[in-house]
Structure 1
Amino acid sequence: MFVRAYLRASTKEQDAQRARAELEQFAAEQGHKIAAVYVENESGATLKRPRLMELINDAHEGDVILVEQIDRLARLNHEDWEYLKRLLAEKNLAVVSKEIPTSYMALQSRESTGFTDAILRSVNAMLLDMLAAVARKDYEDRRRRQSQGIAKAKSEGRYTGRSKDHDKRRIIASLLRQGLSYTEVQNTAKCSRQLIANVAKELKCPTEAS
């Protein structure tokens, strides 16, 4: 059994690896070491996540997928969530989340221990479904509130589109002027390469070769 950690953030400006040290510590407390880490910046509302699919493809029968919270794994609609569960079931992959204590049993022996084990697995499956549904509802509620806020701002003539992160852009601009490479700027400012390229274009700095 291998433990494979999955880390996700919705946008490239967010730090998808934020919870990595916490998950590594959690695995160690359970007597395990994380064998592989899969990180990506993609929406949890879609199955078009290359690193998640890579994890499932790499996984062996009975491996464990470790996540900080279920919403890191999925904010999927019902149909997509059922499809993802089928992919996991085909390899008997277990999902372990710090927010579901009953899931910790997957980090112990994966062999059946009788009636109690069956009950815990059933409870864990129900909790996974419930938390996935809650994550989806939270996603839909936030999208609806965002749409309502934009519609109201437009009607009042106050909508100006998505605001730029001026403080971060100033930091990036300063680093670029100092001659730092894109990689050095990215590591220092904790930002996407696309944002660096945008700031460089505004400064009319040479773009980095791809």
Structure 2
Amino acid sequence: MTIAIVDYGMGNLHSVSKAIERLGYEARITSSREDILTASGVVLPGVGAFGDAMQHLRETGLDKVVKEVQEKEIPLLGICLGMQLLFSSSEEHGQHEGLNILPGRVVRFEARPSYKVPHMGWNGLEFKQKESPLFQDLTEGHVYFVHSYHVEPENNADLLAVTDYGFPVTAIAGRGSVYGMQFHPEKSGEFGMQLLKNFLKLAESGV
């Protein structure tokens, strides 16, 4: 079984790849449509600005490939900026359209004296949909965040887990075979690695 990591020029590709390999699965960093669409599961990573990432995806045609992944119901996981790209739009440095696989928008944390921006460091998760296969054999734990923008999903049904940063912040979102994690599971200790492993199990089972 191979997991395709989408290479569009922006992302923490190697840390994700190494984490997948540590869990006993084959990871392939690729920009090939064939490699991506024949993989058992697909990871969309991302580091940097939303608009730049969408420009890279469109220039390479990988925006359409990621949508094909969703249409074919191949398990898809967006990580950090990769999760934000799954949504409809972002206000980061202007207005930008996203992949629109999940309805919702990406907005900046408001400046408040009660918290700092960016949201950086360890924070606990609260599972909103405990029956999600991502949470199999897990109790709520802490994960590692680094972000200045957060997702506001249109549908509460797409909200799988939140973290408290003065208000409930989207930490995990998903629908059907599509999942997104705002944090870095590969940098979140055993708990994060188990979340990643549960996604890989989904890919392995073809769910």
Per the normalisation by structure 1, the TM-score is 0.26
> Which structure would you say has the larger Rg?
1
Per the normalisation by structure 2, the TM-score is 0.26
Greater helix share, structure number: 1
Greater strand share, structure number: 2
